Chain A
Amino acid sequence: KAGVTQTPRYLIKTRGQQVTLSCSPISGHRSVSWYQQTPGQGLQFLFEYFSETQRNKGNFPGRFSGRQFSNSRSEMNVSTLELGDSALYLCASSLGLAGGTQYFGPGTRLTVL
């Protein structure tokens, strides 16, 4: 089975722009979670989607949003980028909700200038 894939792998944007990141889960997995990793804050949970519905959300401003499609692929969007949004964005898929082993993608490295 193919693993979790994320595109693009690297991205450079400037302040004020918006960005969309994509995540394709392992075939058959219905839950996709997104995480942000920075040197200062470490890994932080952004949101989780299951069956096209956001099921859980972390403490991030409304500029961070996401969605999930019927094939379980997920996108996250960050609007009005700030320098502090520079981070590694990871997505992970699992079979179901509320736990279970999560399988992580390689991440998208976003740099905001």
Chain B
Amino acid sequence: KNEVEQSPQNLTAQEGEFITINCSYSVGISALHWLQQHPGGGIVSLFMLSSGKKKHGRLIATINIQEKHSSLHITASHPRDSAVYICAVMNYGGSQGNLIFGKGTKLSVKP
């Protein structure tokens, strides 16, 4: 079983829809990251959070440490939001080293 699980693996939405991507993890963490990867490979860090909720524009990230779960929400989705969204947990000093990544959620937003 992967230590970081994301759902869904693939998501297709219509422009304007509210989107939720989920991330569950099984290890102790010091922080959780949400990353965005566009075709071509470039990765952008969207959020780093260790508790509560963060908001940036149309993106909202929440984390529940007790339940070991985080969600990434996109409000009023747009075709330019189409990308792979990756959840990664910081398990510093653990057996896998630094960041442990989920497999990603491929989001496609249709106009």
Binding site for B on A (CB under 8 A): 33, 35, 37, 42-45, 47-48, 56-59, 88, 90, 92, 98-104, 106-107, 109
Chain A nearest CB from B36 CB (Å) reads 10
Q: Dominant SS at the A interface?
A: strand
> Which B61-111 residues sit within 8 Å CB-CB of chain A?
86, 88, 90, 92-93, 95-104
Binding site for A on B (CB under 8 A): 30-31, 33, 35, 41-45, 48, 86, 88, 90, 92-93, 95-104
From known contacts A90-B41, A104-B43, infer whether A99 and B30 are also in contact, taking CB-CB under 8 Å: yes
Enumerate the 6 nearest inter-chain pairs by beta-carbon distance, A residue then B residue, closest first: A58-B97, A104-B43, A43-B101, A45-B97, A45-B98, A107-B41
Contact between A103 and B48, CB atoms less than 8 A apart: no
Contact between B92 and A99, CB atoms less than 8 A apart: yes
From known contacts A33-B99, A48-B97, A56-B92, infer whether A100 and B48 are also in contact, taking CB-CB under 8 Å: yes
Q: Dominant SS at the B interface?
A: strand
| Residue among A45, A57, A100, A103 facing the most chain B CB atoms (10 A cut-off) | A45
From known contacts A56-B93, A99-B30, A99-B31, infer whether A109 and B41 are also in contact, taking CB-CB under 8 Å: yes
How far, in whole Å, are A107 and B92 apart by their CA atoms in the complex? Answer: 23
Q: Contacts of A56 on B, CB cut-off 8 Å?
A: 92-93, 97-98
Q: Contacts of B102 on A, CB cut-off 8 Å?
A: 42
What is the total of A-B residue contacts with beta carbons within 8 Å?
63
How far, in whole Å, are A33 and B30 apart by their CA atoms in the complex? Answer: 17
Contact between A42 and B101, CB atoms less than 8 A apart: yes
From known contacts A42-B103, A43-B86, A99-B90, infer whether A48 and B98 are also in contact, taking CB-CB under 8 Å: yes
Q: Contacts of B103 on A, CB cut-off 8 Å?
A: 42
Contact of A58 among B44, B45, B96 (CB under 8 A): B96
How far, in whole Å, are A57 and B41 apart by their CA atoms in the complex? Answer: 23
